Amino acid sequence: MKKHLIAMLLCAIPAIQVAAADTPEMEQRIKESRAVLKAFAAELKGELKNALDKGGPLQAITVCSTVAPTIAREQSRKHGWQIGRTSLKPRNPDNAPDDWEKKVLERFESRKSAGENPRRMEHAEIIEQNGKRVFRYMKAIPTAEKPCLLCHGSHIEPDIAAALDKLYPKDQARGFKAGDIRGAFTITRPLP
Ligand code: HEC
């Protein structure tokens, strides 16, 4: 019985170490991730609003399909991290989650079901990936009624739906409601 307890404790230790967000280094990395994503989200939102005001949703599709990945690439290069967006129901298959991201997205869904507000939902962890230690961070992206449902809701205008069908034949990102978790920002940062 005692041996069993000790074994359980030993097994628990690595899990505690990797999930700890309470060291100053971890706290710092989380803060830096939040700041980078805040800038990413603000830039994207600005571009999206601009395109919607100027050319309507059809033109704004281009912002999402070209500008979003471009900002992600620029930010990734600038920081030497991998930065992107992902979802359990991706529109672009390139944004499909890897195993770790899928687990975190599923956990976000459980946390939402338990009553947590997706607006402040985040998760940080240090994991080993291909033999290297990496810091990984995700922040949930909630669905707002406007403008998100224009292109991610249940009643998408036929011309917008047709344009989306053409660009994204494997689109899963429809049928969302305001307040749903649309997906998450995701960061992978190599550690020394
Ligand atoms: C004008 C149409 C349009 C609007 C409005 C829009 N999106 Fe999108 N969204 C897209 C397109 C197109 C993609 C695919 C982007 C790509 O190819 O990477 C996308 C992709 C995404 C992704 C990446 C994951 C995936 O599904 O591929 C997230 C997250 C996302 N949108 C969230 C939102 C949120 C939140 C809002 C509201 C603030 C919003 N979108 C508004 C068209 C739109």
What is the CATH number for 59? Answer: 3.30.450
Evaluate whether residue 11 is within a structural domain: no
| CA of residue 64 to ligand 1 center, whole Å | 6
Evaluate whether residue 135 is within a structural domain: yes
| pLDDT value, residue 6 | 44
- Mean pLDDT estimate for the chain: 90
pLDDT at 63 over 50: yes
Evaluate whether residue 15 is within a structural domain: no
| pLDDT value, residue 21 | 65
Average pLDDT over residues 55-64: 91
| CA of residue 92 to ligand 1 center, whole Å | 9
| CA of residue 181 to ligand 1 center, whole Å | 12
Evaluate whether residue 49 is within a structural domain: yes
Average pLDDT over residues 144-167: 96
Number of domains in the chain: 1
Evaluate whether residue 175 is within a structural domain: yes
Separation CA 77–CA 133 (nearest Å): 19
Q: How confident is the model at residue 104 (pLDDT cuts 50, 70, 90)?
A: very high
Q: Which atom of ligand 1 is nearest to the CA of 57?
A: 1
Q: Whose CA is nearest to atom 9 of ligand 1?
A: 64
pLDDT at 12 over 70: no
pLDDT at 19 over 60: no
Average pLDDT over residues 38-62: 93
Evaluate whether residue 17 is within a structural domain: no
Amino acid making up residue 2: K
Evaluate whether residue 4 is within a structural domain: no
| pLDDT value, residue 163 | 96
Beta-carbon count within 10 A of 169 CB: 8
- CA dihedral sign, ordered 78, 82, 89, 42: negative
pLDDT at 16 over 70: no
Buried b (16+ CB within 10 A) or exposed e, 124-147: bbbeeeeeeebbbbbbbbbbeeeb
Which domain covers residue 33, as residue numbers? 23-190
Evaluate whether residue 8 is within a structural domain: no
Separation CA 117–CA 127 (nearest Å): 26
Percentage of the chain lying above the pLDDT 70 cut: 89
Residues in contact with ligand 1 (CB, 6 Å cut-off)? 57, 60-61, 64-65, 68-69, 85, 87, 90-92, 95, 141, 143-144, 147-148, 150-152, 173, 182-183
| CA of residue 55 to ligand 1 center, whole Å | 17
